[in-house]
A = this chain, B = another copy of it.
């Protein structure tokens, strides 16, 4: 007798049914698009900008986060959210208010209405950019934003804290340092956050049994650091990279910065030079 039935290659079971990635057309969104695929049957990608074709296991939805109805629809069937959407540089307050303040409010309202249980919020080191480069921060210290952009990130942290206290909707706020292929200047030797480490921090944030409302600094295991992640050690994140591999690009120099050079006095770097922008 024949037993010719070919066994179907078994599709590996993925933990989530559907993860929503906002800001999918942005710098980090494009980096993450492939990396997060193993975590969900379907990755729903969203942005205001063009994101290209949906690949296998992808859904692509153009959406303005300031559009409440659209965001509500966007959240349909979603298990967890990686919120990288909104404006990611200094910009006029009016624009930031629409994208990063109303956008976050809409996102949380929609998530709560649809029963989403966990969000990872891409906050920023610019929420604390007015601390000094000789300070050591931890997540219990008051925020000190360095820009309209930074202020909007503080807002997101406050809003997400509320949704946790009020509804138990869990959020990990990642105050992302400098997540680029490599440090572009000496400052980034302290703030460098490799793509692999970012991905690992997202994984930990999504799969830890409980995260409550956690604020964590997004950084690799750099030699020089300004941030102490002690209050987020329950996440299980361990950095594998370090900016030390790029140290040769920034050889030791005796050219001390000027005493009043705010870009080296404060953690926020060049953000300190922008005034608050309004249209």
Residues of chain A at the chain B interface (Cβ within 8 Å): 15-17, 39, 68, 79-80, 93-94, 97, 101-102, 105, 108-109, 112, 117-118, 130, 132-136, 140-147, 150-151, 154-155, 158-159, 161-163, 165-166, 168, 170, 186-187, 189-190, 203-204, 206-212, 214, 222-226, 228, 230-231, 233-238, 251-254, 256-257, 259, 264-265, 272, 275-276, 278
Contact = CB atoms under 8 A, between A and B. Distances in A.
A206 B275 CA distance: 26
B223 A238 contact: yes
30 contacts: A16-B254, A80-B254, A97-B97, A108-B276, A130-B162, A134-B210, A134-B211, A134-B212, A134-B214, A146-B165, A147-B162, A150-B162, A151-B162, A163-B276, A166-B275, A166-B276, A170-B256, A190-B234, A203-B252, A206-B252, A207-B252, A208-B224, A210-B265, A223-B236, A223-B237, A223-B238, A224-B234, A224-B236, A226-B233, A228-B233
A161 to B, nearest CB: 6
